Amino acid sequence: MNIDGVSTGIVLDHIKAGKSMQIYELLRLDKINNCVAIIQNADSSKYGKKDIIKIDQLIDLDFDVLGYVDDNITVNIVKDGKLFEKKHLELPETLTDVIKCKNPRCITSIEQEIVHKFKLVDKEKQVYRCVYCDAESK
How many residues contact Zn ion, by CB under 5 A? 7
Q: Which member of 38, 103, 127, 136 binds Zn ion (CB under 5 A)?
A: 103
Residue 133 contacts Zn ion per CB under 5 A: yes
101 binds Zn ion (CB under 5 A): yes
132 binds Zn ion (CB under 5 A): yes
Task: State the minimum distance, in angstroms, from the CB of residue 134 to Zn ion.
Answer: 7
Instruction: Choose the stretch contacting Zn ion; rule: CB under 5 A; options: 8-16, 58-66, 78-86, 94-102.
Output: 94-102
**Alpha-carbon torsion angle 23, 28, 33, 34, nearest 10:** -20
Q: Is 95 in the site for Zn ion (CB under 5 A)?
A: no
Q: In angstroms, what is the minimal distance from the CB of 133 to Zn ion?
A: 3
Nearer to Zn ion, 65 or 130 (CB): 130
H/E/C letters for each residue in the chain? CCCCCCCCEEEEEEEECCCHHHHHHHCCHHHCCCCEEEEEEEEECCCEEEEEEEECCCCCCCHHHHHHHCCCCEEEEEECCEEEEEEECCCCCEEECCCCCCCCCCHHHHCCCCCCEEEEEECCCCEEEECCCCCECC
Out of 6, 76, 130, 137, the only residue in the binding site for Zn ion (CB under 5 A) is 130
CB of 104 to Zn ion, least distance (A): 10
Return the number of the residue (29 or 130) whose C-beta is nearest Zn ion. Answer: 130
Comparing CA positions, the residue from 91, 92, 102 lying closest to residue 130 is 102
Binding site for Zn ion (CB under 5 A): 101, 103, 106, 130, 132-133, 135
